[in-house]
Structure 1
């Protein structure tokens, strides 16, 4: 190898290994202006495990629900799109990272032509090995673009985790809703059967002249009301099954459907007192916004580097001969070294506009990051507030059902004894029926709130702790 070639390659290697300056600004610190702790007292417990470290298999206690979640994680199309976006971002990062290294290519060719000064046709064979258009990253443009792609890839990975977390919570809530609606169907069926028997008894008593036509009409009204409720709840159950099937992404085996409300579907214990709000930083959506902010800052560095000169190297070594059989003989070696310097002088304001756009995107990413933290804080605070209020509401609702049941029994006894009208009994039955429905809905809300709190604290994107 000749001395000029060695000198050129040594220069290129030295510039490459010497590192490059980075013009990317420091990532700005977020200031979401949140309290250090959630502004409500929380119960204490002995465990110290963070919710984000509790796998969904450890959180949910219903084996049928666990099976449905596992199927959804395999079949759900939205989650599949999120996974493919991760693969796409990974490939894009690899493309950007490859630009930081010179690409080496081998080439061979034949050039055939005829000169006007000669009568014969000449052939020129060549074979060479070299690099083309390799940019010496003196100001960090290529490196910043690579770092931006890396952070975008990491952001997509967190987006995949956030999608998985949301899917787990959606399947659990759909499962609970279906269980509650099935329980409402059962309650409506029992109420309809009881009122149907009461109507038949009223018809016989009306034929005997023991009750008036008004009582008979009121009994018919109660039966039709129960029939309408039953039809409505059955339609809601069918819709719930369709929604759960869509989330699972495949037909659901009948034995995996809930029979009634599973009131202990989750095992999340009370939160420790004084739980710091910093735990929100482990939420996948917050981490996604943080990586997006880092990518935007790296893009500013790339936009700044565009103002400075760029050096591109093209070089090759090889051999050339007019005869193919003597292509690799001595004295046929060739080489070339072509550095190119490019200095932007007039771009019509395009470079400044690109830098301004990069800064605006960084500011937008910072606002999104702060908004993600604020939204997470509110979700946790809301779930904590409902934890106490729903527990109190459920206790009151249970007492109401018990009291309404006693009132219905007494009213029926007084009606059978002829001391009250059927209207009084019908009002007691309606009160009990509505109280039982409200209790089912309250229990559903309490369990759904547990799932929502688990999701808000960043749990659910991994299977085991």
Structure 2
């Protein structure tokens, strides 16, 4: 029995370890998916959409008749009105009344129908607002994710530079011991080595800060973002994108949730005008009711109180009627509301044009930046290759005494800067490339 328990415990620990290990590595799509399921701001947008859905459903239910039942009961003391004779009596008695009421609007200037359409467009706007936030959140996560990738790359570059400095330091110590170099060279090497150790500490701190920022946007508990799986690849040429940017905009503007949200708000503003104008028209309501009651004072010729069931039947009354309300003068209030509703519509129309303009210039600028980043990446890559060769040459010249330590360290520093710039440019290109995929209707995280 004990051996079985140990085996089961061992299997359980392996399963837990496998589960923990599975959470150590995060791809970009996994980060975005987790954020969409756990980000608190996204949850608020979901709640807004649900409330808009409730409003849309209620606007349809408002077309149904209203129905209510009321009942009252009580005992009267002292001078009271007899509910049967309407005379004044001084007798204590019990009284009960019941009613069933119903009403339905037959016409109110089509206000209810326009409210249904208004609520539908508001629901659409709320839904597009949530989708637009999803898109913004996905790209926000992407930026934070590539920040982590960048600082991981920076840490690796600094570590490699630190290894070179350590190698140079040890070699210089050997050369000083043999009389080939001066002690001043060792001081410069030592200073560079210590400076790069500090740079490594700072880079590692920046990496941890980037991880915390990514985890915050994902609403991920601290310490669970162990390792990032980078999907960064070599940039490719996209020369033909500039030629197709106008057609790309024409297709994207039809599906952009940002634009669709503003268009839904415009449609809602148009229906709001129709709703307000409905107050100019008469309102017609149909009403019906059934009433009955019971009282101790309702007696027969022998003075015996009629039974409850007999009184309910005998006192039953029905009513069916209609009411018409015609607006005549309302201190110009309706007219002012109509004017305000038109101004809201004009404002919504301007927002539609503004959203289309924003999307157009963002698309054009992102296309331009994608091409510029590719050219910059190609040139920076050539610079890195040249600086690597220059460092090897400088290292040999330094060993031969042809250059001093300052010149060697300058070439080494230039190589480090070029490597960092190459890393940054490649990641920036990757982000812009994903933006262009999005403009093509591809949500890369789905």
TM-score (norm 2): 0.81
Q: 1:112, 1:123 within 8 Å by CA — same for their partners in 2?
A: yes
Q: Which residue of 2 aligns with 1:258?
A: 228
Larger Rg: 2
Shift of 1:156: 0.6
TM superposition shift of 1:394: 1.5
Equivalent pair of 1:376/1:456 in contact (CA under 8 Å): no
Q: In the aligned structure 2, how far is the partner of 1:126 from the partner of 1:265?
A: 85
Aligned match of 2:197 = 227
Q: Pick from 293, 307, 311 the counterpart of residue 266 of structure 2.
A: 293
Rounded Cα–Cα distance in structure 1 between residues aligned with 2:339 and 2:74: 49
Match of 1:15 in 2: none
Q: Do the aligned residues in 2 keep the contact of 1:100 with 1:142 (CA within 8 Å)? A: yes
Using the TM superposition, name which of 422-431 and 214-223 deviates more.
Answer: 214-223
What does residue range 347-358 of structure 1 map to in structure 2 within 5 Å?
347-358=330-341
TM-aligned CA deviation for residue 106 of structure 1 = 2.6
Query: Which residue is equivalent to 2:253?
Result: 280
Q: For this pair of structures, how many residues does the alignment match? A: 399
Structure-2 change in CA distance of 1:72 and 1:251 (3 Å):
same
Alpha-carbon distance in structure 2 between the residues aligned to 1:365 and 1:99:
27
Query: What is the 5 A alignment of 1:33-48?
Result: none
**Contact persistence 1:189–1:230 (CA under 8 A):** yes
Q: 1:416 aligns with which of 399, 402, 406?
A: 399
CA distance in 2, matches of 1:365, 1:354: 16
Long gaps (5+) in structure 2: 1-24, 82-86, 296-306
Look up the match of 1:164. 134
Q: Which residue of 2 aligns with 1:304?
A: 277
Alignment RMSD, CA only? 2.9
Is 1:85 the counterpart of 2:67? The answer is no
Alignment correspondent of 1:326:
310
Q: Among 346, 371, 376, which residue is 2:329 paired with?
A: 346
- The 1:162/1:380 distance shift into structure 2, 3 A limit, reads same
Unaligned runs of at least 5 residues, structure 1: 1-61
Once residues 328 and 445 of structure 2 are traced to their aligned partners in structure 1, the CA distance between those partners, rounded to angstroms, is: 53
C-alpha deviation, 1:283, in angstroms: 1.1
After superposition, what is the alpha-carbon deviation per residue over 1:118-150, rounded to whole angstroms, capped at 9, x for unaligned?
343455444433224x43334122222232222
Give, in angstroms, the shift of residue 410 of structure 1.
1.0
1:392-420 C-alpha deviation (Å, 9 max, x unpaired): 22122111111111111111111112222
| TM-score normalised by L of structure 1 | 0.78
| Cα distance in 2 for residues equivalent to 1:154 and 1:302 | 18
Is 1:397 aligned to residue 380 of structure 2? yes
Shift, 1:256, TM fit: 5.8
1:291 CA displacement: 0.8
**Quick check: 1:381 aligned with 2:328?**
no
Matched residue SS, 1:275:
helix
Kindly state the Cα deviation for residue 343 of structure 1 after the two structures are TM-superposed. Answer: 3.0
